[in-house]
A and B are shown apart, each in its own frame.
Chain A
């Protein structure tokens, strides 16, 4: 790791001000992606601004049908929340399968979506749950937030503070992990929203990162069953090919994971 300067932010404002006074700073939350990248000397921020101790960014609030998860909430906390599980078990299950137990104690939802790794799990859920991404500046519609591999709509000095979404009528996430890294090789989050819409978020497979599968959404809107999406086409041309899986296999996995998610949804 190259040299860096660590700062612990006490509030969102403090974090923004520290960012403003640094040369080439990065926000760090759990650090479970950023620190390995820095260790490999593939990232070299002059300063690190730690958001894990910003109290206003922590915790899960449920207001009727509306769920808000603070950006500094860890995967372990999301997984363990009984209140959240009561109205959206799918998001708890997803969180319980990110990385491994030790990573889940550090990694946060804000860090995950701000990084937008093409194989990360949360972006698929945000897409499918039609989440609103709250930042220190504004609220961003999830469809506008993820803009490509490792790319988001966030400005340099913008921090994700929370995500908000309505509890779905039914939802589930089904993931086929990369055998080595255990990141998603194809992960599909399906959600039947209470407004009657169906949304399908796909991670791990897209050549441009997370995406929605609109054909499946259309089919599921009319008939929430795995058979309804049996004839939906997953275009392999839009998918990743790598050492572990070519795009045809990934296309198959997207379909299979989508069906399994629908069958598992509750």
Chain B
């Protein structure tokens, strides 16, 4: 068993978990923050993306113990107030349908802006979304959402 402690969405959390516990399992099952999703087993779909120490990672491909001592932000903790500008942009631009990939998309999008700035062209956004799969939207409105959200961050 691993004794872990980390900051999740600004709150200190911790406990004893099996060493094999994935970060996403810790977030979903132990913390009951179910906005972070699991859509594949091979680290490709990106539904599980969270920020660890300010950087987007796939929480299905990270052990909870690897994140011990880190600061973690999930979709539930992204907004500082009602909605984060990127969340608002996904709503304003119909950037989601079933909503399952959406938390990972939004966490990937904010990370994209953190790294590349607010002025993102379509090609950059499409390339940067390599690690996030959506089956509903055909990406058209996700690209628009990210462009819009980036400009307002």
- Report if A and B touch in the complex (beta carbons < 8 A): yes
The answer to whether A4 touches B20, judged by C-beta atoms less than 8 angstroms apart, is yes
Q: Mark B41-66, 1 if CB is under 8 A from A, else 0.
A: 11110100100100111101111011
Residues on the A chain within 8 Å of B43, using CB = 32, 35-36, 103
The answer to whether the Cβ of B2 comes within 8 Å of any Cβ in the partner chain is: yes
The answer to whether A3 touches B20, judged by C-beta atoms less than 8 angstroms apart, is yes
B residues 53-87 touching A (CB-CB < 8 Å)? 55-58, 60-63, 65-66, 68
The answer to whether B68 touches A103, judged by C-beta atoms less than 8 angstroms apart, is no
The answer to whether the Cβ of B121 comes within 8 Å of any Cβ in the partner chain is: no
Pick the most buried of B66, B68, B132: most chain A CB atoms within 10 A of its CB. B66
A residues 86-108 touching B (CB-CB < 8 Å)? 99-103, 105-106
Q: A2-B20, A8-B68, A52-B66 are in contact. Are A105 and B55 (CB under 8 A)?
A: yes
The answer to whether B66 touches A50, judged by C-beta atoms less than 8 angstroms apart, is yes
Contact of B57 among A1, A48, A106, A181 (CB under 8 A): A106
Min CB–CB distance B5 → chain A (angstroms): 13
Segment of B92-100, B107-115, B137-145 in the binding face: B107-115
Q: A36-B42, A76-B55, A101-B108 are in contact. Are A6 and B62 (CB under 8 A)?
A: no
The answer to whether the Cβ of B131 comes within 8 Å of any Cβ in the partner chain is: yes
When C-beta atoms are compared, the residue in chain B nearest to A76 turns out to be: B55
The answer to whether B66 touches A31, judged by C-beta atoms less than 8 angstroms apart, is yes
Residues on the B chain within 8 Å of A50, using CB = 65-66
Contact of B61 among A4, A101, A106 (CB under 8 A): A106
The answer to whether A102 touches B56, judged by C-beta atoms less than 8 angstroms apart, is yes
Q: Report the separation of the CA atoms of residues A92 and B68 in the bound assembly, to the nearest whole angstrom.
A: 29
Contact of A5 among B19, B41, B44, B128 (CB under 8 A): B19
Min CB–CB distance B103 → chain A (angstroms): 13
Contact of A102 among B22, B57, B63, B68 (CB under 8 A): B57
The answer to whether B41 touches A102, judged by C-beta atoms less than 8 angstroms apart, is no
When C-beta atoms are compared, the residue in chain B nearest to A79 turns out to be: B115
Contact of A6 among B19, B60, B128, B132 (CB under 8 A): B19
Residues on the A chain within 8 Å of B131, using CB = 99-103
When C-beta atoms are compared, the residue in chain A nearest to B112 turns out to be: A101
* Given A3-B18, A3-B19, A31-B62; 20 other pairs, CB 8 A cutoff: A1-B20, A2-B20, A5-B19, A8-B65, A8-B68, A32-B58, A32-B61, A35-B62, A35-B63, A36-B41, A36-B42, A48-B63, A52-B66, A99-B130, A100-B130, A101-B56, A101-B108, A102-B56, A106-B57, A106-B58
Q: Which positions in A face B, CB cutoff 8 Å?
A: 1-6, 8, 31-32, 35-36, 38-40, 48, 50, 52, 76, 99-103, 105-106, 181-182
